[in-house]
Amino acid sequence: MIKFTATSGDGRTILGMGLSHGNLDRLKKGEPIRFKGEDVGLDDVDILIFSGKTEESMAKQMDPMITAKTIIKGNLDG
């Protein structure tokens, strides 16, 4: 995986991640990829990349991590 931060023309931070085919195979097997934000200059942030066939299946996969403080954005209706 290649990971980086950059600054766009309007001053916003861009977080870029390039996933190899090996990374994609791992995600297809249900194995999330996690790394520390400090690796790309984002202190106090952990980054989690995961995938699933549907938004609902991904929500179920992440259920153990969901707390009252969790903000979920996405279409869970399919």
Residues 3-52 have pLDDT tens digits of: 999 999 999 999 999 999 999 999 999 899 999 999 998 899 999 999 98
- Residues 28/65, Cβ–Cβ less than 8 Å: no
Task: For the full predicted model, state whether its pTM sits above 0.85.
Answer: no
- For 12-37, b/e burial (b = at least 16 CB within 10 A) is eeeeeeebeeebeebbeeeeebeeee
Least Cα distance to 64 among 32, 39, 26 occurs for 32
- Residues 4/40, Cβ–Cβ less than 8 Å: yes
- Residues 55/63, Cβ–Cβ less than 8 Å: no
